[in-house]
Amino acid sequence: MQTTLMGAVAAAAKGQVLGLTSSDIQHGTVLGKRFVTLCIMIRTTPWEVSRDVKLLDRDESSWHTLEGVRALREAFATNNPDGRLTWGFTLNALEDKRRNYQQIRDYAVECHQRYGDEVSYFPGYFPAMYLPRERVNREMTEALQIISAFVGKGYRPGCVMGGFLSANNLQYLAEKENIHAAHAVIWSQHAIDGGGADGSPSYPFYPSTEHFCKPAQGAKDFIDCVNLDGWTVDFICARRSGALDHKLTGYNSRRGVGPIETYRGWGLDLGPREVMHTQSIHFDEGFSRNGFAWVTNIWEAQLVYEFGQELVCGAMRMWVTDTRKRWPDVQFVTFGEYGSLWRNNDRTNADWKCSFLERGSGLGDSYNNLEMEWFMNRDFRLALLRDWQVETPWQVIDLTRYDLPAHEPADPSPARPVKNWSLMNRINQKNLRPQDKPRPLKELAPDDLEFVMAALPQLRSRV
């Protein structure tokens, strides 16, 4: 495997495009490749986690037109003719009988047939915060049946776009629906859109039956449904909680590749700079460290109307074109395809690990004097931060141990939502609790320090 991996990495470094066929999806892995996953979301109102549970009173139905959706898909195809994406429909968008939604569903089927796009279910962003687990499961089945019916020929998506989904929901997908990938975590999100669930790895993992943010520790707590993030974010920005605003003088913990946090706030000059900076964390240094790289993104279709087709479709064209120009080997695949490739590469979490190093972009609160290093594996995630310009000592700002017991909240309801699903134990990057105060490695509790050093002996020189 090592020889194959090194050959693939060398080919990618030379800019050779590694074509991805259906056989590659079935038998290939993520090793030696750079990937982007993109979902276009279709809805009728923001945060509609069910037919009748709509968390914001804003009717967006007229904002969804065939013209706007087609313009966005065609912008995605610019200099990217083989690129594929995932269409994520809410239940209302799947069932709406108005002409514009029927046209959009038909167009998604056309894109599936023409390009290989994936057509999937997207229950808002936060079903786990508002709906009992059984109801989420039941509605996933209903939505999948609707999709299979209108796509035809026995079609089934490879991934469900869930936003936040509980461990029970993921187990249901794997065991009852035979779907083995889900967008079920929004990495680092905390105090954004009314809730959050910080604590997971940022790259795919098999979740534990104890908590959807926790990687499975062995066969007894293993769920065979790869948990995928939805947006790649700037690690230095992500250590914040919430967002002050979208202006240069404020901060936003979700800044990275997302269009709302970049292009809307900064336009087509600074916005793309932050997007490319965030991608470079993965496609350059991250690729060198890990032997593969992944960037993930979700765009809401109503953005075309809300912020203007010229800005939104222009941003899409710029993003795709610049990404393919800088990393010619990058492949735009569906969420389901990426989940399948990941499963081909890793079946247990046991040997899974990745690390990232970032120096801030200098834009907004991605301060260019800060350097951040992340280590993630089955047993823990660890984040270190320093001021590299004056060479301050590395400080631990996050140590989340996955070997410790974890518990999800009890079932919520629309009347009694549960907004915080975070997994926090030793130290959390958001620095909200007294125990989260940054500290040098040597000041970790002795058992925590030895636990980390057993997996990362290269860090002993920093103690």
For position 245, what pLDDT does the model report? 60
For position 243, what pLDDT does the model report? 81
Which amino acid would we find at residue 61?
S
Which amino acid would we find at residue 444?
L
Q: Left (φ > 0), alpha (ψ -120 to 50) or beta: where does 332 sit?
A: beta
pLDDT tens column, 80-115: 999 999 999 999 999 999 999 999 999 999 999 999
3-state secondary structure of 333: strand
Q: Is the dihedral angle over the CA atoms 251, 257, 263, 266 positive or is it negative?
A: positive
The CA distance from 103 to 22, in Å, is 28
- Long-range CB pairs of 282-290 (<8 Å, 24+ gap) are 282/34, 282/232, 282/356, 283/34, 283/326, 283/327, 283/330, 285/356, 285/357, 285/358, 286/354, 286/355, 286/356, 286/357, 287/9, 287/12, 287/34, 289/354, 289/355, 289/356, 289/357, 290/354, 290/355
pLDDT in 10s for each residue of the chain, 463 residues: 333 333 333 343 343 334 556 666 666 889 999 999 999 999 999 989 999 998 888 999 999 999 999 999 999 999 999 999 999 999 999 999 999 999 999 999 999 999 999 999 999 889 999 999 999 999 999 999 999 999 999 999 999 999 999 999 999 999 999 999 999 999 999 988 878 899 999 999 999 999 999 999 999 999 999 999 999 999 999 999 988 765 555 688 899 999 999 998 889 999 999 999 999 999 999 999 999 999 999 999 999 999 999 999 999 999 999 999 999 999 999 999 999 999 998 899 999 999 999 999 999 899 999 999 999 999 999 999 999 999 999 999 999 999 999 999 999 999 999 999 999 999 999 999 999 999 999 999 999 999 999 999 999 999 9
pTM above 0.95, yes or no: no
The CA distance from 4 to 71, in Å, is 40
For position 34, what pLDDT does the model report? 98
Domains and CATH numbers, the chain: 2-345 (3.20.20.510), 355-462 (3.30.1120.110)
For position 159, what pLDDT does the model report? 98
Q: What does 274-299 look like in DSSP terms, one character per residue?
A: HHHHHHHIIIIIIHHHHS-EEEEEEE
For position 57, what pLDDT does the model report? 83
Rounded (5°) CA angle 142-146-149: 140
Q: What does 363-410 look like in DSSP terms, one character per residue?
A: STTS-TTEEEEEEEESSEEEEEEEETTTTPPPEEEEEEESSS---PPP
